[in-house]
Amino acid sequence: RKCDLSGLWRNELRSLMEIHEVNDAGEFSGDYLTAVTATSNCIRRSPLKGAQHDAKQRGQPTFGFTVNWEKFSNSTTVFVGQCFVDDKGKETLKTMWLLREEVGSPGDGWRATRVGTNVFTRK
């Protein structure tokens, strides 16, 4: 089924995202293996949880998920996006994300959130 998110995905930074089965409520969990790091920390798999709209009902469903970079740093990233299918049946996940870095005090909150985009295709 197209745009059922379970499976292995890769983005333009060559990071990998593995999504396990999607349940009847559209919920899923998985792992994110980033290829890039802003810190000297070694690259670790980080758990993710999210939900998508029913790919049986919607041809090109929207979704969202949260990555908890727990072993990596105290950051959190939330992704939101939509799955698109081209005329050859190739699926693309177009996403935007907010990355929240842990800062020492509320006064530092102004510099704590980054925004970006990622595109994923099946690996």
Residues near ligand VHI (CB under 6 A) are 11, 13, 15, 34-39, 69, 72-73, 75, 77, 99, 101, 118
Taking CB atoms within 8 Å and a gap of at least 24, the contacts of 16-23 are 16/123, 17/48, 17/120, 19/48, 22/52, 22/55
37: its two tokens: 């790091």
Which residues does residue 99 pair with via DSSP β-bridges, in sequence order? 77, 114
Nearer to ligand VHI, 67 or 83 (CB): 67
Residue for token pair 């998920």: 65
The CB-of-1 to ligand VHI minimum distance in angstroms stands at: 25
| Identity of the residue, 58 or 82, whose beta carbon is nearer to ligand VHI in the bound complex | 82
Of the pair 56, 71, the CB lying nearest ligand VHI is at: 71
CB of 25 to ligand VHI, least distance (A): 26
Amino acid residing at 72 = F
